[in-house]
């Protein structure tokens, strides 16, 4: 089955199937992981990129799951054995207690009562195990049938095609019959009827909706013990699934990939909407239409209603088929979407129905870490295992997921749109809808007032008198904005259930652009206000900011301009989900349109606590987890995790020590001390010294050199200075210079050109030896991009990228930490936070260069402060162990020249 099988250190330990003979550090990683899962721990695991972390996670975790399932089945067989051998075994507990009927049990009960209760519990357990066995057998038989019978697939497809044709003919017949019938109430055309809000029932009045839910029970199964694996991006998840496919577990693991509707929807009409919120709302609306369809058909004789669009892919039978196909063979998101198109079944819902029976569920952060999203997806964490990969930014991620921001432009635009909508359909809306719309309008009015503006005037033309950022607690914000008398929970739920933002988007699509044709003069007068308003907003946006961005970004801006209420719903949701650790930042800038309200979460641990409480074990893994103190104190300790439950594992790198040369450089070629503080880094002599260091390095380092700066502004400033002094021309003799672009859609092009240049230079062998890439810490190139081999033979870090401590968000977080956390080694928690944020960013950036066992690179940290013990100890262990501190440039340069010449000779 596999070419390598790793055993634990002791002969009796677990065995780990592996596609090749694993490195020693991979074996150690798997043993530690297995132990943490078995003991139900919360583990912080660090394994540098290039050490096969993904494969170690897969083989270690799935080996544990395999053994766990085997032990569980053995235990079941033991408990069911007396059952199968007849009644004798059943009577054992009763007969054991028969001779002692008079004696008393421990709780003062007679022994026969205790025995009876015990016997009933045993019987219930046996019955439950029997049910589980029957269910498991049924599932295994079903999946085996699909695995071995290709005909089933074609039969399902053929049946679906026949159903589609029948539906089409039926629809044609209905249209022919109903021709000429009119609508008595008001002459609204077919499409506009869909814009009217349905009668709203709040929770107190809500009735159970019949429909597909009845069938849902057949799709639901008991949740088996499983592993939830989550990572940050769609591409990281797809890469992980490919690793599972290649692993020894690839053939017999029931894996399901989950994603957003944006990634999984196969209905082209819905996909075309582009923005995630629009896709979500349209999908929900189509489901609602499907549920209403039955009651519409029942009432068809009484009252003719407009036909509402339903999704052809939301079919119980086809989703059941897709669910089983997903469980039979490991598929990534792309393969899942292809299968959905082929079988005409919804991959989004089909994959969710597969969760309960799956052994491994692969999903994005948002879906696991956000409780409402988790519940909506049907994810149950009780006694399950969670692995969070690429977790170096986990604290920030949880904070971002639970934060929300709305601009003054969006608030005014939403108010105008909603007002026009209410005027247009006032006669058609029910009283409850009108009440909630008026409440939302009032909220928007008050939010704009908090920014110092008037909701009825163009936000781009309203100047703000007092600029700056102000922080408020949630209660203070509610009282000062005079909205403490409104039940935000009810308003937020109304927005969610009534799909008002979707209806509003449809309304704006229809009447918001000057091109749209409107029927009567009266309506023209009413709606021209909205058109003019949107036009002035667009013009305002064009003059405010930078030149127009590329098409992709313009499209996104249009979607946002057309659906501002969706953003506002996110803000309301954050306000209603919060606790005492939430703040609202009122950010007043230039005009009301540029100003914003932002919800900030100070304590992400409150949301992580549920995960660690419910799960059997949680593993937080990453290539660079240093400094670990943040995870222990800000996340786990605040989430109430017992320190004894936390286990740490950090392994070295697979590369030999001689393949890496990390140097902390304290001064430059002209003996200028290197200290890039906010005060000193702008000095001409400091920028000149940095340039001289780069010129010297480019003379001896082959291939690619990647230089990281603390910010885009500083990189721009130093580039302009070098251009003026002629240093850029000197650098360009040896290396072609590339700059990291600010726009995400241009990064790929720059990287392609950078790689091409390095390849061309290595083949040509002329005076130019490669390329120099000027990058930014925290930018697109400091995370997730590999500078392996010739793409990154030297990584330089200019200064220490401390965050901006003047930012109101960071200041509030620092104040909150100092109030709630104990001092660490005599330092206030706020100071530790700043250092940790800085070193996390450094570690992410310098880890880009070494990507596999035979790779080699030098790392240069330009700032004497890196040599301070508190900072030095926050470097990753595998780099720290090999780092040299060089007070003078001469000795450092000699080391670097020797290192790179030695490597070139060895090639």
pLDDT digits 0-9 by tens, 639-681: 888 888 989 888 877 778 888 899 999 999 998 889 998 888 9
**pLDDT given at position 538:** 41
Is the pLDDT reported for residue 107 higher than 60? no
Q: Tell me which of 63 and 561 has the higher pLDDT.
A: 63
Please check the confidence at residue 594 and state whether its pLDDT lies above 80.
yes
CA distance 328 to 350: 13
Model confidence over 37-82: pLDDT tens digits?
999 999 999 888 777 888 999 999 999 999 998 888 787 777 666 6
* Length of the chain (residues): 907
Residue 296 has pLDDT above 70, yes or no: no
- Residue with structure tokens 């970004």? 553
- pLDDT, averaged across the chain: 78
Asked whether the predicted pLDDT for residue 780 surpasses 60, the reply is yes
Please tell me the predicted confidence (pLDDT) of residue 519.
Answer: 35
Q: What is the mean pLDDT of residues 576-600?
A: 85
Q: Which residues pair with 795 in a beta bridge?
A: 706, 859
Rounded mean pLDDT of 338-363? 89
Residues contacting 253, CB < 8 A, separation 6+ = 62, 244, 330, 359, 360
Q: Mean pLDDT throughout 9-18?
A: 70
Does residue 214 register a pLDDT over 50? no
Q: At what angle do helices 488-498 and 564-576 cross, to 10 degrees?
A: 140
Residue 843, pLDDT > 60, answer yes
Average pLDDT over residues 734-751: 84
**pTM of the prediction?**
0.78
DSSP helix/strand/coil, 179: coil
pLDDT of residue 281: 79
What pLDDT sits at residue 907? Answer: 63
> Helices (DSSP H) in 671-792: which residue ranges?
684-700, 712-725, 727-734, 747-764
Distance in angstroms (rounded) separating the CA atoms of residues 300 and 181: 13
Mean pLDDT of 727-739: 89
* Angle between helix 605-614 and helix 394-401 axes, rounded to 10 deg: 110
pLDDT given at position 161: 59
Q: What are 618's strand-pairing partners? A: 42, 386
Is the backbone peptide bond immediately before 234 cis, with ω within 30 degrees of 0?
no
pLDDT at 694: 92
Label residue 827 by pLDDT band (50, 70, 90): confident
Tokens, residue 356: 């309960």
**Among 108-112, 193-197, 232-236, 345-349, where is mean pLDDT lowest?**
108-112
pLDDT the model gives residue 94 = 36
Lowest-confidence region among 94-108, 349-363, 505-519, 703-717: 94-108
What is the rounded average pLDDT of the residues 889-894?
Answer: 91
Say if residue 522's pLDDT is above 80. Answer: no
- Residue 19 pLDDT exceeds 90: no
Strand partners for 858:
661, 794
Strand-strand pairing, 582-589 and 385-388: unpaired
The band of 324, judged by pLDDT with boundaries at 50, 70 and 90, is: confident
Distance, in Å, from the CA atom of 546 to the CA atom of 285, rounded to the nearest integer, reads: 37
What number is the average pLDDT over the span 552-560?
39
**pLDDT-based confidence at residue 509 (cuts at 50, 70, 90):** confident
Does the pLDDT value for residue 860 go beyond 90? yes
In the predicted structure, residue 549 carries a pLDDT above the cut 60? no
pLDDT band at 152 (very low <50, low <70, confident <90, very high): low
Answer yes or no: is pLDDT of 305 > 50.
no
If you ran DSSP here, which 8-state letter would residue 15 be given?
E
CA gap 495, 704 in Å, rounded = 53
Tell me which of 216 and 142 has the higher pLDDT: 142
pLDDT at 496: 83
Highest mean pLDDT among 74-78, 181-185, 493-497, 849-853 belongs to 493-497
Evaluate whether 228 touches 257 at the Cβ level (below 8 Å).
no
Say how far apart CA 877 and CA 562 lie, in whole Å. Answer: 50
pLDDT at 764 over 70: yes
Expressed in angstroms, the distance from the first to the final Cα of the chain is 36
- Tell me, what's the pLDDT at 615? 92
């Amino acid at each position: 089955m596999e070419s390598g099988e790793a055993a634990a250190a002791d002969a009796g330990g677990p065995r780990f199937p592996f596609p090749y003979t694993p490195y020693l550090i991979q074996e150690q990683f798997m043993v530690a992981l297995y132990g943490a899962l078995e003991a139900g721990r919360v583990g912080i695991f660090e394994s540098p990129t290039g050490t096969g972390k993904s494969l170690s996670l897969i083989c270690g975790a799935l080996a544990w799951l395999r053994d766990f399932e085997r032990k569980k089945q053995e235990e079941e067989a033991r408990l069911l054995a007396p059952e199968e051998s007849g009644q004798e075994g059943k009577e054992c507990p009763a007969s054991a207690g028969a001779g002692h009927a008079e004696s008393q049990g421990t709780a003062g009960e007679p022994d026969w009562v205790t025995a009876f209760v015990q016997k009933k519990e045993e019987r219930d357990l046996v019955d439950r195990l029997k049910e589980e066995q029957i269910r498991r057998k049924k599932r295994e038989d079903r999946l085996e049938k699909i695995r071995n019978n290709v005909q089933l697939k074609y039969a399902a497809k053929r049946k679906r095609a026949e159903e589609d044709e029948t539906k089409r003919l039926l629809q044609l017949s209905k249209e022919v019959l109903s021709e000429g019938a009119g609508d008595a109430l008001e002459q609204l055309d077919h499409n506009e009827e869909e814009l009217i809000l349905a009668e709203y029932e709040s929770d107190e009045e809500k009735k159970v909706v019949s429909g597909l839910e009845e069938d849902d029970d057949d799709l639901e199964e008991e949740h088996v013990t499983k592993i939830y694996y989550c990572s940050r991006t769609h591409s990281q998840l797809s890469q992980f699934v490919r690793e599972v496919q290649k692993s020894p577990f690839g053939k017999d693991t029931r894996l399901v990939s989950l994603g957003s509707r944006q990634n999984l929807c196969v209905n082209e009409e819905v996909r075309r909407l582009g923005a995630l919120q629009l896709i979500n709302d349209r999908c929900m609306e189509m489901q609602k239409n499907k549920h209403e369809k039955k009651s519409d058909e029942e009432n068809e004789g009484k009252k003719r209603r407009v036909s509402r669009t339903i999704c052809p892919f939301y079919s119980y039978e086809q989703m059941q088929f897709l669910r089983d196909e997903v469980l039979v063979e490991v598929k990534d998101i792309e393969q899942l979407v292809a299968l959905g198109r082929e079988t005409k079944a919804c991959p989004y819902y089909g994959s969710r129905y597969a969760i309960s029976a799956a052994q491994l569920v692969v999903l994005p952060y948002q879906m696991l870490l956000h409780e409402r999203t988790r519940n909506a997806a049907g994810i149950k964490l009780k006694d399950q295992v969670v692995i969070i990969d690429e977790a170096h930014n986990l604290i920030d991620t949880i904070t971002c997921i639970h934060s929300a921001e709305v601009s003054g432009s969006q608030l005014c635009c939403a108010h105008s749109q909603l007002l026009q909508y209410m005027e247009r359909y006032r006669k058609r809306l029910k009283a409850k809808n009108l009440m909630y719309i008026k409440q939302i309008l009032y909220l928007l009015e008050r939010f704009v007032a908090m920014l110092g503006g008037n909701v009825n005037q163009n936000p781009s033309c309203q100047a703000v008198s007092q600029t700056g950022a102000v922080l408020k607690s949630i209660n203070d914000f509610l009282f000062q904005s005079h909205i403490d008398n409104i039940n935000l929970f009810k308003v937020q739920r109304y927005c969610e259930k009534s799909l008002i933002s979707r209806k509003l988007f449809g309304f704006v699509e229809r009447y918001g652009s000057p091109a749209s044709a409107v029927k009567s003069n009266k309506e023209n007068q009413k709606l021209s206000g909205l058109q003019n308003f949107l036009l002035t907003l667009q013009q305002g946006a064009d003059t405010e900011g930078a030149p127009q961005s590329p098409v992709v970004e313009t499209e996104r801006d249009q979607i946002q301009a057309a659906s501002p209420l969706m953003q506002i719903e996110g803000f309301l949701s954050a306000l209603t989900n919060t606790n005492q650790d939430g703040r609202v930042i009122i950010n007043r800038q230039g005009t009301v349109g540029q100003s914003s309200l932002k919800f900030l979460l100070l304590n992400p641990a409150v949301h992580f606590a549920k995960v660690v409480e419910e799960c059997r074990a949680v593993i937080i893994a990453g290539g660079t987890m240093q400094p670990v103190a943040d995870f222990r104190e800000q996340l786990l300790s605040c989430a109430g995790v017992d320190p004894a439950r936390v286990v740490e594992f950090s392994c070295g790198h697979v590369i030999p020590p001689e393949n890496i040369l990390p140097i902390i450089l304290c001064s430059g070629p002209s003996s200028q001390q290197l200290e890039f503080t906010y005060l000193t880094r702008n000095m001409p002599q400091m920028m000149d010294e940095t340039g001289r260091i780069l010129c010297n390095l480019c003379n001896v380092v082959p291939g690619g050199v990647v230089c990281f700066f603390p910010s885009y502004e500083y990189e721009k400033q130093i580039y302009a200075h070098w251009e003026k002094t002629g240093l850029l021309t000197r650098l360009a003799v040896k290396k072609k210079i590339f700059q990291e672009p600010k726009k995400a859609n241009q990064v790929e092009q720059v990287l392609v050109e950078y790689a091409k240049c390095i390849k061309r230079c290595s083949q040509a062998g002329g005076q130019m030896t490669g390329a120099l890439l000027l990058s930014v810490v925290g930018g697109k190139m400091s995370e997730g991009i590999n500078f392996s081999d010739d793409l990154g033979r030297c990584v330089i870090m200019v200064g220490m990228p401390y965050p901006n401590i003047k930012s109101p968000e960071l200041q509030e977080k620092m104040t909150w930490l100092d109030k709630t956390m104990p001092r660490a080694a005599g330092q206030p928690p706020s100071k530790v936070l700043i250092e940790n944020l800085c070193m996390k960013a450094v570690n992410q950036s310098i880890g880009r260069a070494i990507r596999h066992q035979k790779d080699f690179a030098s790392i240069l940290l330009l700032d004497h402060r890196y040599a301070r013990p508190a900072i030095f100890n926050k470097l990753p262990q595998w780099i720290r162990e090999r780092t040299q501190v060089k007070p003078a440039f001469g000795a450092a340069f000699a080391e670097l020249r020797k290192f790179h010449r030695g490597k070139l000779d060895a090639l």
